[in-house]
Amino acid sequence: MLRKVPLFSGCTDKDLQELSRLMTEVEVEEGHVLVREGAGTPEFFIILAGSATVTRAGKEIGTVGPGDFFGEISIIDGGPRTASVTATSPMTINVATHREFVSLLDRAPEIARNMLPTLTRRIREAQAASHTD
């Protein structure tokens, strides 16, 4: 399933095998809150199947689905979650702790390069939203 995730494009079969050993696959029910805005849980998530809504200050700001990831900001800087993410369908996700996340980036640096456009887009969207509030 990891091969279908754009974040892992460029990874070799060996990289993907190592990555799958580092992450924990979890099944989630519809309605489950994966992360809460303001919480300090240091985990990184990749959606393999299903979808979720992303909210900030109680307002929906987007949706995520297969191939999307979240939790990278908090896991990188150790700060609180910038948004809440709630499953809108049953989901299959991969979860990595801080240590596993750092190991992922050490083993496959192309993952970090693949994350940068998404991180940049999210920063720009947050800046734009702060100017319209």
Domain positions in the chain: 2-128
pTM of the model: 0.81
Residues of the chain with pLDDT under 50: none
Q: Which residues pair with 85 in a beta bridge?
A: 35, 54
Predicted pLDDT at 37: 93
pLDDT of residue 133: 59
- Judge: domain 2-128, CATH 1.10.8.420: no
* pLDDT score recorded for residue 53: 98
Residue of 41, 70, 39, 37 lying closest to 55 (CA atoms):
37
pLDDT digit string, tens, across residues 94-131: 998 888 888 878 877 877 787 788 778 878 877 787 77
